[in-house]
Amino acid sequence: MIVLRLFSRTKLYWGLAIICLIGALASPHTSSGRNIFLSFSNLTDVLRQVSITGLVATGMTLVILLGGIDLSVGSVMGFSTIICAMLLTQPGWTPASIMAVPAAAAVAGLGVGFLARFVFHGLARGRDVDAGRRNEIVLGPWRGVRVPAVLGLACGALAAVGTASQVSTKFGVLAVLLVTPCVALALGAINGALIVAGRLQPFIATLAMMVSALGLGRLTAGQDNAVIAVYTGTNATQAFEMLRSMVWGILPMPSVFFLAAILIFGAVLRFTTFGRYIYAIGGNPEAAKLSGIKVAQVQLAAYMISGLLAGLAGVLFVAQYRQGKPDAGSGLELDAIAAVVIGGTSLMGGRGGLAGTFVGVLIFGLLSDILQLQNIDSNVQLLMKGLIIVGTVLVQEQNLGQLLTRWRGQAPPPAPALTGSVEANRPPSATMKSTAREDIHEAS
Amino acid sequence: MDAGWNVMGTTRGGPSHHTATVPSGPSGRLAVDPAGPAPSNHAVVLNAEGVSKSFAGVTALRDVDFDLMSGEVHALMGENGAGKSTLMKILAGVHVDYDGVIRIEGASVRFSGVQDAERAGVAIIHQELNLVPELTAAENIFLGREPLILGTVVDHRRIVKAASALLRRLGIEIDAQRRVAELRIGEQQLVEIAKALSLDARILIMDEPTSALSTSECDTLFKVVRQLARAGVAIIYTSHRLDEVVALANRVTVLRDGRRVLTAPIDGLSSSAIISAMVGRDVAMSRRKSGSSAGAPVLSVRNLTLDTVSSRGWRRLLKGVSFDVGRGEILGVGGLLGSGRTEILESIFGVARGWRGGDIAIDGEPASINSAADACRLGVALVTEDRKALGLHIASTIRDNVALPSVGAASRFGIRGFARESALATDVVERLAVRCSGIDQIVATLSGGNQQKVAIGKWLATAPRVLLLDEPTRGIDVGAKQEIYQLIFGLAADGLAIVVVTSEMPELLLLSDRVLVMCEGRQTGVLSGAEATQEAIMRLAAPGMSGRGPGVAP
């Protein structure tokens, strides 16, 4: 019984293990008899391939845990590639820099202002927190408003000047890496504001943003279906090549961002109040609200993070494929949702986590790698992906035993006592449909 | 289906053919004709013997006998939870699993569902109306049995004609082609009645039909009800409003704790006789020694109002409520369902839907509470009525639930203090004696009483000054109730100011130092000590009786 339960809890990792096993067994060998699938370069290549989807899926996990959904990430990512590519290749006040400078200034200013307030708040609470005592901390006008405001304004101005100084020439690596996500974050903030203040359903609000961001990207690029090529060393800074290099010869740069995002936001979910609130709101939004949680703030923040990570993914896309294009991320949102869902995060919200998303992303990455090594048609890959989604979700949502008994046409046994596990009363979440589209990694 | 058409006097088909197990009455006996003579014989049309029903071990009805004669309005009275709804739902075929015998016109029947009951001529009009707002009145009346042209296309002209004729004969002035969403709530009620009669209903069950109606709408409804009774329809009618029952009913049956305690013609009964039949039971537990309410009030509420706008139009749910609660005092709020009790708590907690007016002060300081977060900050806690939907995250652990309102307080720089959270949860579990295997047990696996302890405990962990309890013992067995009572007394002794809303009279009397009685959003009195008796509270709580009680609020 214990073995079964352990198996049931870790079945996600078993899936990953099975995929690896199949990959290793089916893999072709080099002339010297080495297994190509298990070779270091192949595995790091898989990590590189999944990084962009993975970053987006990380933000998507937060949003889905919250009980929402963000359909706009693909378009926002595509839009970010345009911003990034234009900043890299076109000097002067292009539409991209006109958007990027204020966005960077606003994000820096507001971010630093709130950070200052947050730090003062933490300091005021004192070293020894009396557990459970409702301690009302009211910061005075100086620490509460004036100092954060001044700091924020200063940093905002600094960011404005700093980015504006780059406008006349082309932007450098660090500049695009910081500025592009700021623009995407602003789009995420619009999503959040529509959902929180406009009371729109997340599906609707982000659907609107998905459409709008694509249009905005095309308008920004100037021509329909524009592809802005980025040739490092000729029309853009050579240093940009760094974002597709290997770090210390071990990890590809994009995967460093992906792994860092997984670790950081995994820690955020696990160790911070913000993370706790995300789970609480996803689990029961009304109860969370009645518990005094500021639901609107948490929602807004989650959509902003989702936008931010989509923007970062956009920069990595430009580095990886040496181009920016408005539809770079078409279908990406569905890949991300699929990865989140097969990672065991419930679309109802409140249950799941980033470890599952990481595995989910890897499963897709390994699958396409295996099929590529076998030279199997990419359309078969899509078919396989769909099957995997249905299969994993079927297995996750119900106990295998229940599934088997139902197939045998017997009445399911009485629900097992809920000791330490909520498997039994999981709501069946919607099964994702696979979508036929060109895989992003083959797009260029 | 044919039966419906006969009622309306259209030309389709011959005599009706009921498929139910009951012999049907002569076709068209329900030709609703206001000028027609009253039926001379009051024959028994429905007769229930020894009906019992229990839900998951809780007995809702015990051996109830009930009979209904044609052409009478039979009022069914009782406190909340006395078993009125259960009885009505059994008679209407909603509950199909019961003990006892039901006879309709002498023939024993056992309905397999609502449709079956309708075929036998029994129709129920629920408190929540079952109309499709986007369809017209006529379409609603014939929903699911539309006449068809050549068996394919809905015959709209005929629907409208038939519905208009039916409404006209009932003396209802409603355009059958108007969308139900545009109708006022009283008009919707009348459409429901028309729908029931189009089904050839000879027995009409009305569950609190006037609860949402204005006075003039009530008058129209009463007119229609009387007219139906004259035409021979037997009507079972429930209402909390005594005056209404006295004015409308021929006989009254009172249920209490699932048993029938009285069936009598209304003529020989006084209102107070009905009230004492409804509440007449002894309070088992002794009241505690009254808390010391000396000193400045902790919570003070002045002229609290709440307005909402819904599809029904503008409504004032709270009409100027004022009270003080002192340290260690328990204020009970009594009143019928929908009298505004819960709205008081929600308004104080800052989560009521609508516009709030009036002043709230905590410890003498004016408090502006516009969200639950504000309330928490000021030390106000609300334990909600529906703990599964609103109070707890049922699929999560005791630790997570208890710590949720305190996560912020236990953290520093946004990093959770896990040790502090666990300490809080352990503390609550020990203090409230929650029976569990540990703080990591899933809340869904706890018993109702222990779940309620967790729901209260999560607020105690925030060290509140004011505790608002909405139906603290709903769905909890008797033994656990006593524990919750002791818990509440203990909290009062610790100095909390407590406001309790409860539908159960004994609980209200037991817990409260003072009782605030609400009636239709108005504060009809504050009773303290010996003044607070069941009869006194009932008199203040029942609409139509108010205004005579002591201490009427401004």
Domain parsing of chain B, residue ranges: 2-12+71-98+111-274, 299-541
What is the distance between the alpha carbons of residues B76 and B263, in angstroms, rounded to a whole number?
9
What is the distance between the alpha carbons of residues B163 and B175, in angstroms, rounded to a whole number?
9
* Alpha helices in B432-523, H assignment, sequence order: 448-460, 478-493, 505-511
What is the distance between the alpha carbons of residues A97 and A102, in angstroms, rounded to a whole number?
9
Q: Is A409 on the interface with B (CB under 8 A)?
A: no
Contact in structure between B536 and B549 (CB atoms under 8 Å)? yes
Q: Examine domains B2-12+71-98+111-274 and B299-541 and report if their fold is the same.
A: yes
C-alpha distances in Å from residue A265, one per residue of A62, A67, A183, B106, B404: 8, 17, 20, 72, 20
Query: In chain B, what residues touch A284 (CB-CB under 8 Å)?
Result: 389-390, 392-394
**Structural domains in chain A?**
49-90+170-377 (1.10.3470)
Closest CA relative to residue B250, chosen from B52, B92, B38: B38
How many residues in chain A? 444
Q: Is B388 on the interface with A (CB under 8 A)?
A: no
Q: Which of residues 430-459 of B touch A (CB under 8 A)?
A: 440-442, 444-445, 458
Topology at the third CATH level for domain B2-12+71-98+111-274: Rossmann fold (3.40.50)
Determine phi and psi for A213, rounding to 5 degrees: -65, -35
Residue with tokens 């005592």: A133
Per-residue pLDDT of chain A (444 residues; tens, 9 = 90+): 567 667 666 777 888 888 888 888 887 777 777 788 888 888 888 888 899 999 999 999 999 999 999 999 999 999 999 999 988 888 888 888 889 899 999 999 999 999 998 888 878 776 555 544 455 667 777 777 888 899 999 999 999 988 888 888 888 888 889 999 999 999 999 999 999 998 899 999 999 999 999 999 999 888 766 788 888 777 777 788 888 878 887 888 899 999 999 999 999 999 999 999 999 999 888 888 888 889 999 999 999 999 999 999 999 999 988 888 888 888 899 999 999 998 888 888 888 889 999 999 998 888 888 888 888 887 888 888 888 888 877 776 655 556 555 665 544 444 443 333 333 333 333 333 333 333 333 333
Closest CA relative to residue A295, chosen from A195, A185, A182: A195
pLDDT, residue A181, reads 94
Query: In chain B, what residues touch A417 (CB-CB under 8 Å)?
Result: 445
Residue with tokens 């209802």: B172
C-alpha distances in Å from residue A417, one per residue of A413, A414, B77, B445: 12, 9, 41, 8
> Hey, what CATH class is B299-541 in?
alpha beta
> What does the block give as tokens for A324?
């920016």
Query: In chain B, what residues touch A425 (CB-CB under 8 Å)?
Result: 395, 444
The Cβ-side half-sphere exposure at A369, using a 13 Å CA radius, reads 26
Q: Flag the least confident range among A43-52, A175-184, B61-70, B213-222.
A: B213-222
Which residues touch A376 (CB under 8 Å, ≥6 apart)? none
Q: Which of residues 140-169 of B touch A (CB under 8 A)?
A: none
Q: Is A138 on the interface with B (CB under 8 A)?
A: no
> What does the block give as tokens for A106?
């606003």
Q: Which of A271, A276, A289 sits opposite B372 (nearest CB)?
A: A289
**B399: helix, strand or coil:** helix
Contact between B390 and A419 using a beta-carbon 8 Å cutoff: no
C-alpha distances in Å from residue A32, one per residue of A29, A36, A44: 8, 11, 21
What is the distance between the alpha carbons of residues B30 and B14, in angstroms, rounded to a whole number?
16
C-alpha distances in Å from residue A177, one per residue of A94, A173, B31, B120, B525: 18, 6, 81, 75, 67
Q: Is A354 on the interface with B (CB under 8 A)?
A: no
What is the distance between the alpha carbons of residues B192 and A427, in angstroms, rounded to a whole number?
35
Please name the helix (run of DSSP H) or strand (run of DSSP E) that holds residue B317, with its range, or none: strand B313-325
Closest CA relative to residue A245, chosen from A254, A233, A236: A254
What is the distance between the alpha carbons of residues B118 and B209, in angstroms, rounded to a whole number?
19
pTM of the model: 0.72
Query: In chain A, what residues touch B445 (CB-CB under 8 Å)?
Result: 417-419
Query: In chain B, what residues touch A274 (CB-CB under 8 Å)?
Result: 414
Q: Is B493 on the interface with A (CB under 8 A)?
A: no
If you write DSSP's letter for every residue of A37-59 in order, what string do you get? TTSHHHHHHHHHHHHHHHHHHHH
Among chain B residues, CA nearest to A128: B412
Please name the helix (run of DSSP H) or strand (run of DSSP E) that holds residue B303, with its range, or none: strand B299-310
> What does the block give as tokens for A344?
């065991």
Please name the helix (run of DSSP H) or strand (run of DSSP E) that holds residue A326, with its range, or none: none
Contact in structure between B464 and B409 (CB atoms under 8 Å)? no
**pLDDT tens by residue, B374-420:** 888 888 999 988 777 778 888 888 988 888 888 887 887 888 888 88
Q: How many CB atoms lie within 10 A of CB B270?
A: 9
Contact in structure between A88 and A170 (CB atoms under 8 Å)? yes
B267-273's contacts with Cβ under 8 Å and 24+ in sequence apart are B271/B242, B271/B243, B271/B246, B271/B545, B272/B535, B272/B539
